[in-house]
Amino acid sequence: MDFIGKRRIFLNASLLLVALSAIVLVSPGLNLGIDFTSGSTVTFRFESSDPGTAGVKAALDRADHPEAIIQAMGDNQYFVRTDDLGNSGLDAITDEVAKLDGVPATVLDTSTVGSSVAQDTVRNAVIAVLVAVVFVMMYIMYAFRTVPSSYKYAIAAIIALGHDVLIVLGVFTLLGIAINAEVNAIFIVGILTVIGYSVNDTIVIFDRIRENVTLAPSREFRSTVNLSITESVTRSLGTSLTTMTVILAMLLFGGASLRDFLIVLLSGVIVGTYSSIFIAAQVLVLWERRALLPWRRAAVSP
Amino acid sequence: MNRFRGLLLVAILVVLSVVVLTVSEFNILGFSRGGDSVLGLTLGLDLEGGTHLVYRVVPEDGREPTQDDMEGVRNIIDKRVNEFGVSEAKVQLLGGGAGTVPDRVLVQIPGQIGAAITLNFGSDAVSAQTLEDFFHDNLERPDAEVKQNENLSLTVQLDEIRAEVVDTDGTVLTPSEADAWREAVIDWFPVALQVGYVLPEIVPPAEGDDTAVDSEPEETLPTLEEVQAAFASVDRSDAEIDQIEAAAGLFSILLKGVDTSTTDDEGNPILGEDQRILNALREIGTIQFVSNQGALTQWTLGGGVQEAKNLIGKTAQLEFRYRECGDLLPPSNDIPWPPDGLSDEEWINARCTDPAYFTESATEIDAADLDDAFPDVSGGAIPRPIVTLIFNDDGGDAFFDVTDRVARQGDRLAIYLDGEELVAPSAQAGISGGRAIIEGGSFTSEGVRTIAIQLRSGALPVGLDLIQERNVDAVLGKESLKRSLIAGGIGLVMLLMFMIAYYKIPGLVASIALVAYTIMLLAIFKMIPVTLTLSGAAAVILSLGFAVDANVLIAERTKEELRSGRSLLAAITAGFDRAWPSIRDGNFSTIIVALVLFWFGDRFSTSVMQGFALTLAIGVLLSMFTAFFASRLLLRLFATSAIGNNLHLFVPVRDRGQQDQQGESSVGGNA
């Protein structure tokens, strides 16, 4: 199968997806949870009747929290997000909400994050990811030291990684609009998982290229890459299908609390598998042909 | 067979793991693990429920906190949390990362988030079930759960207790629910009192003295009326009093609760009602015995996030108090001295250490005047660990006055942190110049360090700002844990079915390896122990994916080697060798990510990152181990058995057609 010959289609499709993700990320942007914006969240469960989103909203208006965002979670459960409630704000809300049902609604969880914490979290998450990326690049350069220009492999892997993370962020932005999915601490964990998966998947394909380059150094690089992709595509699909089986099972049978996280993982596995085959390896070929940058491509391409 | 030694190793480890997981709790030579959670695993707050509080440490003079400040704060919070009765709470410093001073404290209080009341009826007169029914039916608290503790006290666990409502002037508008319940419990569970009177002991007349022989005893046993009057005198005419045996002076009294509190509403000490009753009963005769059943002797309110927050967030209070020891010499010649039958040696110690004998009063020494306190060693032939105190001028003067008096009177200077005695040294002479040392025969270098840190933390008050709070209901935690476990189980079974259906024997091998992997992973989590959180569960899914990947890679490579005409065993060996570099490189880069995250983890005001990183690193390492020892060797074991003759069982479904033709020659080669 000629993966390299059809690279234009895949590269353009990816460019389009990345561009779309970038656009939605800028506006409307991710639906940031309180870990990033500060504020409070409360999850209520009504024991005997369902007041509906409007009912809960009315109760929160009466409790002087008109800014509250209410989200129905099913099973008479409501997720409420407000400004920082501080020490005493929660009682005011529970009192009002209790009147809706006659019996006190059960408070399943509460969470409050101050603004300084929120800023720290964003900064630290970005630093952590960047440091991790640098170290992974260094390791790839070391692991691929037997093939010429191993730094290209490192950079190609990181380009594929950036592609994956951007698209997952884009998907999550859309989820934020569609089902009010929020970026919280567990979302960051999801992104980290995607990073781990993406790098691992890319390295498996690169490993095949490394092997084939060593076996037949004189073969044209693009043929070597194409052969390597063909040889590893079953494995890539096998692994992602099995991993997706587990994630899908948890998505279908698990509780609502992990839903957003599992969607991140699912999209990450799909995009990660795709990018290893169609982006990471293709970047290597383009680079080999000195055609990574469009203005140079015009000069070099036949 | 030598080459299957690795397989044996894995088998032994799996059996060990199963044992570790099935024994819910064990304790060998002080090494104890497990508990009454699922498989005895340590569960994080998001799964078990609990409270997660993050405080920023802000020194009140506006400087950056130092490492010592932070340790002092941790020390104090640790103590407060323990006082609060939450033994499993975790207090951890969080901060800017490697090489910098932490500036935040994370307090995690697991499990019960509500409030708890511990009460004691002084006997097992009231059963846990009775009290629980009482809370359910009479106090309308269906959420109450009562359990009996080992010392016969009862603990009532409640979702929450409404605290008292106080207006801005400090007037109590609504009393706390707990106070009302206390009254109700006292009213509801009667105290059964038995009193036996005797005639006063008549001193046997001295020999030769015959005057006493004729004298009739003037006292008689108290009558029912007298006992009733005695109760009336302490405002308890509601007591039901029965005379059991008039001749023996035996009465049984049924009281609706006795209030044993020894302080009034303002906290001033008063005589407990039980004491007042006893005194009234003493006045009318000589008591031989009093027994009571069911008196409420303890009522301790604990739990509740609000209370935890109030307790933890306080600024530490360091107090210097003057301790006036009990008199060394008898105050007058009439009293036997030392008191209470103590020997002279015992008295020298007890007069200054037993609160029954000394009195204390405030001093002029202000904690803020303590400039520094640090661990040190004394000079002299045998250096001893000491604590050096340095006061500013004001503090130095006050310190001189106090130590001068302490030295002259043979008293003590007691130093308290948060109301708990740190140290109470004596003094040889008044100490001037604002520089003092504290030494003690039992001081260790670690001990003086702790005392110095505590002194400093009390002297330089640091504020604690609550910057993050998260409460997870235990029910929600249990629910999501249960559902995630079920879902994970279904996912794992589906995965195994897929692997076996698609990859045949290699799939079966992979399945066995994965089950072994899962069992060993859980056992490792239990042994370390790793706190299992939702993010940890995510890491488990990812590492499970990697474990699957390793097996898929081995199976695919083996298939290719078979296709190129190798014998089955040679194909497995070559397939594994070919798969290994990609397994290794992929997993190492993941471990690198995990290490970086772990390194950065303590910068976040959440344990999510570190939990994820640790779980992932362990999972990935173990998946490499199982791939190397279990999958490879199991595959060889199957290949050398009779199954090895059915080559198509080693080739994925999709490739069967082409493989069957190519496989013939391989089988031939193998034979």
Over the stretch A98-125, which tens digit does the pLDDT of each residue have? Answer: 777 666 677 777 777 777 666 777 777 7
Distance from CA of A173 to the nearest CA of B (A): 21
In a domain, A2, yes or no: no
Say if A97 falls within a structural domain.
Answer: yes
Bigger pLDDT: B308 vs B373: B373
Minimum distance, in Å, between the CA of residue B564 and any CA atom of chain A = 13
Q: Are B150 and B281 found together in one domain?
A: yes
**Residue finishing a domain among A62, A96, A113:** A113
**Which of chain A's residues have a Cβ under 8 Å away from the Cβ of B593?**
132, 135-136, 192, 195-196, 199
Whether this prediction's pTM lies above 0.80 is answered by: no
User: Quick one: which of A239, A116, A140 has its CA closest to B466?
Assistant: A116
Spell out which residues of chain A touch residue B479, defining contact as CB-CB under 8 Å.
255
Contact residues, chain B, for A98 at CB < 8 Å:
none
| pLDDT of A84 over the 50 cut | yes
How confident is the model over B189-200, as a mean pLDDT?
76
Pick from A265, A33, A266, A192: which is nearest to B617 by CA? A192
- Which residues in chain A have their CB less than 8 angstroms from residue B490's CB? 249, 253
Distance CA B268, CA B250 (A): 35
**Residues with Cβ within 8 Å of residue B605, at least 6 apart in sequence:** A113, A117, A120, A121, B54, B94, B104, B106, B467, B468
Asked which of A86, A113, A140 is the last residue of a domain, the reply is: A113
Report the gap between the CA of A277 and the closest CA in chain B (Å). 15
B87 and B148 assigned to the same domain: no
Separation between Cα atoms, residue A76 and residue A52, nearest integer Å:
8
Residues A250 and A215 in one domain: yes
- Concatenated DSSP letters of A122-133: HHHHHHHHHHHH
A139 or B303, greater pLDDT? A139
Residue B664 reports pLDDT greater than 50: no
> What's the pLDDT band for B441 if we cut at 50, 70, 90?
confident
Task: State which of B234, B268, B303 marks the end of a domain.
Answer: B303
Distance from CA of B434 to the nearest CA of A (A): 41
Residue A164 lies in a domain: yes
What is the nearest CA distance from A142 to chain B, expressed in angstroms? Answer: 10
Q: Which residues of B touch A250 (CB under 8 A)?
A: 484, 487-488, 491, 541
Domain holding B396, by residue range, is: 318-459
pLDDT tens column, A157-216:
999 999 999 999 999 999 888 887 778 777 877 888 888 889 888 998 999 999 898 888
CB neighbours (10 Å) of residue A85?
22
Domain that holds residue A66: 39-113
* Helix axes B474-527 and A221-253, enclosed angle (nearest 10): 130
Number of domain units in chain B:
4
Query: Is the Cβ pair A253, B492 closer than 8 Å?
Result: no
How many CB pairs below 8 Å do chains A and B form together? Answer: 224
Band of residue A23 on the pLDDT scale cut at 50, 70, 90: very high
DSSP A161-213: HHHHHHHHHHHHHHHHHHH---B-HHHHHHHHHHHHHHHHHHHHHHHHHHHHH
Which amino acid makes up residue B598? F
Query: What confidence tier does A273 reach under pLDDT thresholds 50, 70, 90?
Result: very high
Q: Judge: B585–A143 Cβ closer than 8 Å, yes or no.
A: yes
Residue B212: the pLDDT is 46
* A1 found inside a domain: no
Q: Are residues A238 and A167 in the same domain?
A: yes
- For residues B52 and B145, what is the distance between their CA atoms, to the nearest angstrom? 23
> Between B469, B535, B537, which is nearest A112 by CB?
B469
Please report, rounded to a whole number, the percentage of residues in chain A having pLDDT higher than 90. Answer: 19
Q: Do B528 and B420 sit in the same domain of this protein?
A: no
User: Which range has the worst mean pLDDT, B24-38, B49-63, B651-665?
Assistant: B651-665
Query: At residue B384, what are phi and psi to the nearest 5 degrees?
Result: -120, 150
- Residue A72 confidence (pLDDT): 80
Q: Who among A108, A242, A253 is closest to B499 (CB)?
A: A242
Inter-chain contact A116–B467, Cβ cutoff 8 Å?
yes
**Closest alpha carbon within chain B to A38:** B468
User: A135: helix, coil or strand?
Assistant: helix
- How many domains is chain A built from? 2
pLDDT tens by residue, B342-383: 777 788 778 888 877 888 888 888 877 888 888 888 777 777
Mean pLDDT of B77-94: 67
In 3D, which of B27, B81, B26, B92 has the Cα closest to residue B531?
Answer: B92
The minimum CA-CA distance between A295 and chain B, rounded to whole Å, is 34
CA distance B372 to B625: 54
A200 and A276 inside one domain: yes
- Report yes or no: B446 and B483 within 8 Å, Cβ to Cβ: no
β-bridge partners, B31? B28
Residue A18: pLDDT band with limits 50, 70, 90? very high
**Do B120 and B107 belong to one domain?**
no
The answer to whether B467 contacts A261, with C-beta atoms less than 8 Å apart, is no
Query: Is the CB of A135 less than 8 angstroms away from the CB of B483?
Result: no
Q: What is the mean pLDDT of chain A?
A: 82
Rounded to whole angstroms, the Cα distance separating B166 from B180 reads 16
Do A166 and A266 fall within a single domain?
A: yes
pLDDT at B218: 57
What chain A residue is nearest to B560 in terms of C-alpha separation?
A231
Q: Are residues B492 and B442 in the same domain?
A: no
What CATH number did the domain enclosing A264 receive? 1.20.1640.10
Residue A79: strand pairing partners = A43, A71
User: Do B139 and B172 fall into the same domain?
Assistant: yes
Q: Which residue has the higher pLDDT, A244 or B45?
A: A244
User: Which of B407, B432, B459 represents a domain boundary (last residue)?
Assistant: B459
Which among B469, B586, B597 is the nearest to A111, CB-wise?
B469
Q: Name the residue in chain B with its Cα closest to that of A253.
A: B487
B556/A120 Cβ within 8 A: no
> According to the per-residue pLDDT averaged within each range, which of A20-24, A249-253, B95-99, B553-557 is highest?
A20-24
Q: pLDDT by residue (tens digit) across B245-276?
A: 767 778 888 777 666 666 666 666 677 777 78
> In the structure encoding, which two tokens stand for residue A21, read together?
């993700």
Q: In the structure, what pLDDT confidence band is assigned to residue B468 with cuts at 50, 70 and 90?
A: confident
Top residue of A116, A122, A200, A215 to mutate, by most chain B CBs within 10 Å, is A200
Q: Nearest CA of chain B to the CA of A155: how many Å?
A: 14
Q: Do A135 and A175 have their domain in common?
A: yes
Q: Is the dihedral of CA B302, B303, B306, B309 positive or negative?
A: positive
Last residue within a domain, chosen from B246, B277, B303? B303
Q: Which residues of A touch B498 (CB under 8 A)?
A: 241-242, 245
Are A107 and A122 members of one domain?
no
On the question of pLDDT at B659 being above 60, the answer is no
